[in-house]
Structure 1
Amino acid sequence: MEDAVDVLKAIGEPTRMRLLILLSQSDLTVSDLTDILGQSQPRISRHLKLLADAGLIERYQEGAWAYFRSIKEGRNANLLRQIIEGLSRDDKILSHDHERLVSVKETRAAKAQEYFSLNAESWEEIRRHHVPEERVEKELCNIIGSAPINSLLDLGTGTGRILELLQGQYRRGLGVDASHRMLTIARDKLDKAGITHASVRQGDIFNLSFERQSFDLIIIHQVLHFLYDPAPAIKEATKMLSPGGRMVVIDFAPHDLDYLRSDFAHARLGFPHETVAEWMKSQGLDVEKISDLTPQNEQDQKLTVTIWMGKDPRLLIAEQSESGLARV
Structure 2
Amino acid sequence: MIASPSTPAINLASLVDSLKAAAESSRMRILVLLSRGDLTVSDLTEILGQSQPRVSRHLKLLLESDLIVRYQEGSWAYFGLSDSDWVRDFLSAMIARLDAADPTIERDQERLDAVKQRRQARASDYFSTNAAEWDRLRSLHAPDKAVEATLTRLIGKKPFQAMLDLGTGTGRMLELFAPLYRRATGIDLSREMLSVARANLDKAGITQAQVRLGDLYAPPVERDSFDLIAMHQVLHYLEEPALAVREAARLLRPAGRLAIVDFAPHALDFLREDHAHVRLGVSDAQIADWLGEAGLDLEANETVPHDHAGDQRLTVKIWIARDPRVEIASPFQSTSKKALV
2:22 is matched with which residue: 4, 8, 11? 11
Instruction: Check whether the contact 2:35–2:81 (CA below 8 A) recurs between aligned residues.
Output: yes
In structure 2, the residue matched to 1:55 is 66
Structure 1, unmatched stretches of 5+, are 324-328
Is the deviation greater in 11-20 or in 232-241? 11-20
Aligned to 1:290: 301
Q: CA deviation at 1:263?
A: 0.9
How many Å apart are 1:87 and its aligned residue? Answer: 2.1
- What residue number does 1:161 align with? 172
* Paired residues, number: 321
TM-score where L is the length of structure 2: 0.88
Distance in 2 between residues matched to 1:317 and 1:19, nearest whole Å: 37
* Alignment partner of 1:34 is 2:45: yes
Question: Percent same amino acid among aligned pairs?
Answer: 52
Match status 1:121 vs 2:132: yes
Secondary structure of the 1:314 match is coil
Q: Among 292, 311, 327, which residue is 1:281 paired with?
A: 292
Structure 1 position 293, deviation (Å): 1.5
> Are 1:249 and 2:260 matched, yes or no?
yes
Deviation at 1:71, TM superposition (A): 3.2
**In structure 2, what is the Cα distance between the partners aligned to 1:253 and 1:178?**
24
What is the DSSP-based 3-state SS (H/G/I as helix, E as strand, rest coil) of the residue aligned with 1:192?
helix
1:189 counterpart residue number: 200
Give the SS at the match of 2:223. coil
* Structure 1 position 74, deviation (Å): 4.1
Which consecutive unaligned segments of at least 5 residues does structure 2 have?
2-11, 330-334, 337-341
Shift of 1:209: 2.4
Which residue number in structure 2 is paired with residue 67 of structure 1? Answer: 78
Aligned mate of 1:236, from 242, 247, 252: 247
Q: Does 1:265 align with 2:276?
A: yes
Contact map agreement 1:4 1:76 (CA 8 A) in 2 = no
Q: Which of 147, 163, 166 does residue 136 from structure 1 map onto? A: 147
| Pairwise CA RMSD | 2.1
Post-superposition CA distance 1:66-97 (Å, at most 9, x none): 11112364444333323222222222222211
**2:188 equivalent in structure 1:** 177
Q: Deviations over 1:27-56 (max 9, x none)?
A: 000011011112111110001011111222
Residue in structure 1 matching 2:220, options 193, 202, 209: 209
Preserved contact between residue 34 and residue 79 of structure 2 (Cα < 8 Å): yes
- The structure where helix makes up a greater share of residues is 1
Segment drifting more, 109-118 vs 48-57: 48-57
Determine the C-alpha separation between the residues in 1 that align with 2:85 and 2:253. Answer: 18
Who is 1:326 aligned against?
A: none
CA contact (8 A) 1:277 1:308 kept: no
What is the match of residue 111 of structure 2? 100
Q: 1:295·1:301 contact (CA, 8 Å) conserved in 2?
A: no
SS in 2 for 1:159: coil
Q: 8 Å contact 2:268–2:312 — kept in the other structure?
A: no
Say if 1:90 and 1:315 are closer, same or farther in 2 by CA, change over 3 A.
Answer: closer
* Structure 2 contact 185–209 (Cα < 8 Å) conserved: yes
Give the secondary-structure state (helix, strand or coil) at the position aligned to 2:326: helix
How many angstroms apart in 1 are the aligned matches of 2:72 and 2:163?
Answer: 20
Contact map agreement 2:143 2:306 (CA 8 A) in 1: no
Q: Could you list the per-position Cα deviations for residues 229-255 of structure 1 after superposition, in whole angstroms to 9, with x for gaps in the alignment? A: 211111111111112111111100111
Could you say if the C-alpha distance between residues 75 and 224 of structure 1 is closer, same or farther in structure 2, counting changes exceeding 3 Å?
closer
Query: 2:257·2:323 contact (CA, 8 Å) conserved in 1?
Result: yes
Describe the superposition over 1:221-276 as per-residue Cα deviations: whole angstroms up to 9, x where unpaired: 00111112211111111111112111111100111111111111111110111111
Residues 100 and 127 (structure 1), Cα distance of their counterparts in 2 relative to 1, 3 Å cut: same
TM-score (normalised: structure 1): 0.92
- For residues 37 and 219 of structure 2, the distance between their equivalents in structure 1, rounded to whole angstroms, comes to 23
